[in-house]
């Protein structure tokens, strides 16, 4: 009789299988998927390396591997992604939150730290709710936090995350700031910013509405900036994430639309210019 595969055998098999796929980190992906199939923590998995795996669990694991080979992002397969130290539910209706967006949260927290009174803050295009929820949790829900999206499915995911993580957020379905009746102190946005020719392998399973923004990729951010002067309180600010290629486009649009504001571009840890910050008077 053939002896059962061990954890170690399955890890090796998975790494080999994924090496020939879209995965850029086959070893790590195989480990995450095996942990998922076994319901094991990292420590438990490594403690069990020489142990045999039940055939049913091995079958589940191979099904997960197949999804990854088909290009489905790990976060959609497991249904989870960590962002700013919290675990977010994700599915194919929301963008998988990216590590670089954690800097946008940092800049928002830095700005809010200087305020003594509770502020009105909006996260436009909230997706999984990653930005709004992280800011709300880090500030102990002391600000009035609004979060919007055009996608009702995304808002459903975001509301589940807010509830599970204990963030107090008002969610609104609507485009950009069109729905906003009362001005806010801080506008945060990581809106779609890709041009159609920037489609690439690895993002084809994410929702198009979360990725693309017109021929130059800047149409949504431009429209948001155009409406910002009407929706910001005196002394308010806008912080948005950009495609680094759109740095100059963003700077000239911001200077044209808000000529009296303080405008700067902020970099991520790698030194890449990725965020536009506008401080109104």
Ligand X SMILES: C[S@@+](CC[C@H](N)C(=O)[O-])C[C@H]1O[C@@H](n2cnc3c(N)ncnc32)[C@H](O)[C@@H]1O
For ligand X, the closer of residues 119 and 146 by Cβ is 146
The angle, 0 to 180 degrees and rounded to 10, between the axes of the packed helices 55-69 and 7-19 is 20
For ligand X, the closer of residues 61 and 88 by Cβ is 88
What are the residues binding ligand X (CB under 6 A)? 94-95, 97, 101, 124-128, 130-131, 148-151, 154, 175-176, 190-192, 209-210, 220
Closest listed residue to residue 139, CA positions, set 113, 165, 159, 160:
113
DSSP 81: E
Least distance in Å: CB of 147 to ligand X?
Answer: 9
Burial tier of 256 (Cβ tally within 10 Å: 0-12, 13-18, 19+): exposed
For ligand X, the closer of residues 112 and 242 by Cβ is 242
Least distance in Å: CB of 170 to ligand X?
Answer: 15
Least distance in Å: CB of 174 to ligand X?
Answer: 7
* Total count of residues recorded for the chain: 281
Beta-strand runs (E) in 201-261:
232-241
Cα 223 from chain centroid? Answer: 21
Burial tier of 227 (Cβ tally within 10 Å: 0-12, 13-18, 19+): middle
Q: Distance (Å, rounded) from C-alpha 220 to C-alpha 211?
A: 11
Task: Give the C-alpha distances (Å, rounded to integers) separating 243 from 92, 218, 267, 274.
Answer: 22, 9, 11, 6
For ligand X, the closer of residues 81 and 143 by Cβ is 81
Least distance in Å: CB of 212 to ligand X?
Answer: 9
Q: Distance (Å, rounded) from C-alpha 182 to C-alpha 160?
A: 26
Least distance in Å: CB of 168 to ligand X?
Answer: 18
For ligand X, the closer of residues 48 and 165 by Cβ is 165
For ligand X, the closer of residues 73 and 125 by Cβ is 125
Instruction: Return the CA Rg of the chain.
Output: 21
Least distance in Å: CB of 41 to ligand X?
Answer: 26
For ligand X, the closer of residues 58 and 213 by Cβ is 213
Yes or no: say if 90 and 96 are a contact pair by the CB < 8 Å rule.
Answer: yes
Yes or no: say if 136 and 145 are a contact pair by the CB < 8 Å rule.
Answer: yes
Least distance in Å: CB of 154 to ligand X?
Answer: 4
């Amino acid at each position: 009789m053939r002896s059962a595969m061990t954890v170690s055998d399955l890890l090796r098999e998975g790494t080999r299988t994924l090496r020939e796929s879209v995965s850029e980190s086959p070893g790590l992906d195989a480990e995450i998927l095996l942990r998922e199939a076994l319901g094991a923590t990292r420590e438990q998995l490594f403690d069990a390396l020489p142990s045999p795996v039940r055939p049913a669990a091995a079958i589940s694991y191979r099904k997960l591997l197949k999804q990854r080979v088909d290009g489905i992002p790990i976060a959609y397969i497991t249904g989870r992604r960590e962002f700013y130290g919290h675990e977010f539910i994700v599915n194919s209706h929301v963008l998988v939150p990216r590590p670089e967006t954690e800097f946008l949260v940092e800049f928002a927290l830095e700005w809010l730290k200087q305020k003594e009174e509770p502020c009105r803050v909006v996260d436009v295009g909230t997706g999984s709710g990653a930005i709004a929820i992280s800011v709300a949790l880090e500030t102990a829900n002391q600000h009035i936090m609004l979060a919007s999206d055009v996608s009702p499915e995304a808002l459903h995911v975001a509301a589940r995350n807010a509830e599970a993580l204990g963030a107090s957020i008002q969610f609104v379905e609507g485009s950009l700031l069109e729905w906003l009746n009362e001005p806010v102190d801080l506008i945060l946005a990581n809106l779609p910013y890709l041009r159609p020719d920037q489609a690439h392998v690895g993002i084809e399973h994410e929702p198009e509405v979360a990725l693309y923004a017109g021929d130059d990729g800047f149409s949504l951010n431009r429209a948001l900036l155009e409406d910002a002067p009407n929706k910001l309180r005196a002394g308010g600010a806008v912080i948005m994430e950009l495609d680094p290629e759109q740095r100059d486009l963003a700077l000239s649009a911001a200077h044209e639309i808000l000529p009296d504001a303080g405008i700067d571009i902020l970099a991520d840890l790698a030194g890449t210019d990725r965020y536009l910050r506008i401080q109104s008077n």
